[in-house]
């Protein structure tokens, strides 16, 4: 494998609404879209679509949603042989997205919470160039990820998500210090470090991360490895839904790293993946194919 993913596997139910309701409000629903999701899984899906050899470690339930999740990954040639099918319900993510493309998200973990580190094939991971991880919902799963990270020598990329903002940096230290790349958005950076993206990036680098990539929404991204730092403008596109934008960015950035690009070009490719993602509803429908990359980045 080039990249193995590890994280929650969810089935997304996305409700398109006129606005995100406040407490006590009633808001109309304009549509419902359903598709497989999960942060690390979205990134792996995006990499596989452009030809990267990928696999995934995780769990789904023995239900219809689990079947759909597995089939969706397999259709992009992701190796699903290390995904456990457990008795119970697959994880569900309920999202609300408004007319501006902004969203709120509610997570039911399902059998994701039952996945155990004893189910992880360490040799399988160490045969890859990168292990890409995203957060689960509860503390026990985070501790499982930490115990795994201490046993492997392969490269690590980490997308903590807002779920990890409730944990202190001290708790996350074992993962941060082994991360070749950390992916966050500007809200997650502030929640994790209590700093803006520049100072927060410095802090994460001081803790041992080799590269920090922060997505900034309409302002693009900020990437730094301590020696070089770049604020990279976004690619212009019409925004339909921001669901999965950060996951798409991570796919593009890792695609660049695998191809030997510097962090500036990795950020540009990441922005391209994110722009394609947000031009469609859902986390995966808009993700680019290899032919899209060849048009925009002919040397790729």
Ordered structural domains, the chain, with CATH: 3-296 (3.40.1190.20)
Positive or negative, the Cα torsion across 87, 54, 216, 243? negative
Residues 6 or more apart from 251 whose CB is under 8 A from it?
42, 43, 44, 45, 46, 47, 50, 270, 273, 287
Mean pLDDT of 201-227: 96
Nearest to 36 by CA among 81, 90, 82: 90
- Ranges of beta strands (E only) in 38-124 are 54-61, 79-86, 91-97, 103-108
pLDDT by residue (tens digit) across 227-275? 999 999 998 888 888 888 999 999 999 999 999 999 999 999 999 999 9
Distance CA 59, CA 51 (A): 24
Neighbours of 110 (CB within 10 A): 24
Mean model confidence pLDDT for the chain: 91
Mean pLDDT of 78-101: 91
How far is CA 184 from each of CA 2, 28, 227, 245, 289, rounded to the nearest angstrom?
22, 32, 19, 11, 24
- Looking at residue 184, its pLDDT comes to 95
pTM for the predicted model, two decimal places: 0.92
Q: What is the DSSP letter of 250?
A: H
HEC string for 168-229: CHHHHHHHHCCCCEEEEEHHHHHHHHCCCHHHHHHHHHHCCCCEEEEECHHHCEEEECCCCE
- Looking at residue 88, its pLDDT comes to 97
Identify the band that residue 25 occupies on the pLDDT scale cut at 50, 70 and 90. confident
Distance CA 49, CA 62 (A): 26
Neighbours of 298 (CB within 10 A): 7
Nearest to 214 by CA among 163, 164, 271, 170: 271
- Asked if 37 and 12 count as a contact pair (C-beta separation under 8 A), the reply is yes
13: β partners = 34, 94
With a pLDDT cut of 70, the percent of the chain lying above it is: 99
Q: Name the residue with tokens 């995904």.
A: 83
Neighbours of 152 (CB within 10 A): 16
Position with higher pLDDT, 27 vs 251: 251
Element (H, E) at 159: strand 155-159
CA angle 111, 245, 67 (to 5 degrees): 30
């Amino acid at each position: 494998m080039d990249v193995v993913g590890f994280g929650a596997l969810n089935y997304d139910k996305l409700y398109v609404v006129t606005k995100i309701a406040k407490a006590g409000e009633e808001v109309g629903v304009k549509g419902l879209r359903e598709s497989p999701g999960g942060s690390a899984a979205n990134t792996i899906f995006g990499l596989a679509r452009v030809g990267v050899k990928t696999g995934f470690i995780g769990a789904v339930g023995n239900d219809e949603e689990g079947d759909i999740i597995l089939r969706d990954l397999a259709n992009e040639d992701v190796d699903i042989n290390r995904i456990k099918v457990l008795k119970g319900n697959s994880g569900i993510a309920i999202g609300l997205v408004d007319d501006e493309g902004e969203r709120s998200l509610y997570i039911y973990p399902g059998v994701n919470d039952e996945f155990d580190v004893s189910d992880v094939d360490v040799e399988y991971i160490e045969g890859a160039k990168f292990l890409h991880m995203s957060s689960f919902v509860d503390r026990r799963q985070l501790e499982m990820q930490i115990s795994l990270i201490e046993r492997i020598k392969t490269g690590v990329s980490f997308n903590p998500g807002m779920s990890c903002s409730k944990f202190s940096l001290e708790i996350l230290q074992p993962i941060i210090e082994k991360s070749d790349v950390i992916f966050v958005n500007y809200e997650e950076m502030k929640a994790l470090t209590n700093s803006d993206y520049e100072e927060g990036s410095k802090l994460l680098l001081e803790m041992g991360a080799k590269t920090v990539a922060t997505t900034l929404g309409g302002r693009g991204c900020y990437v730094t490895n301590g020696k070089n730092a770049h604020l990279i403008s976004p690619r212009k596109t019409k925004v339909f839904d921001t669901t999965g934008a950060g996951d798409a960015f991570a796919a593009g950035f890792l695609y660049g790293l695998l191809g030997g690009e510097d962090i500036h070009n990795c950020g540009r490719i990441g922005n391209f993946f994110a722009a394609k993602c947000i031009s469609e509803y859902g986390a995966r429908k808009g993700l680019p194919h290899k032919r899209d990359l060849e048009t925009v980045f002919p040397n790729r």
